[in-house]
Amino acid sequence: PVFVLANAQRAPLQFERDGKPLAIFYESASQAEAALLQAIEAYPSLGLRLTPTGLGNALSLAREGAKAVLVPSEDNLRQAKAMKPILPTAAAWGEPGSL
């Protein structure tokens, strides 16, 4: 599962980016808890809580007109940074003449 900050009605807490609503999903429960504590301090009247949901749901919202952002865990970021590139650098960045 991934975790989203939700209000008392269990609707995802909506932030705004470029004038559009945006939900933030966290892969890490501990990162989500830290975000929840900050949000409760900022918005004490909303009855905020963490709500688990499926990764597929979060990814669907992220693809649907950027309605969501998925925050990867620190461990997954570390592992991704340690991976060797699959394609040559030029191909990975789509430079002219690359794949």
- Assess whether pLDDT exceeds 90 at residue 31: yes
Q: How confident is the model at residue 18 (pLDDT cuts 50, 70, 90)?
A: confident
Residue 92 — φ and ψ, nearest 5°? Answer: -65, -35
Query: What residue ranges do the domains of the chain occupy?
Result: 2-73
Q: What is the CA radius of gyration of the chain?
A: 17
CATH number, domain 2-73:
3.40.1350.100
Q: 54 or 95: which carries more pLDDT confidence? A: 54
- What single letter denotes the amino acid at residue 1? P
- Assess whether pLDDT exceeds 80 at residue 99: no
What are residue 12's DSSP bridge partners? 6
**DSSP letters along 60-72, please?**
HHHHTTS-EEEE-
pLDDT in tens, 53-91: 999 999 998 888 789 999 999 998 888 888 877 666 655
Contact 85, 32 (CB under 8 A): no
Rounded to whole angstroms, the Cα distance separating 57 from 26 reads: 12
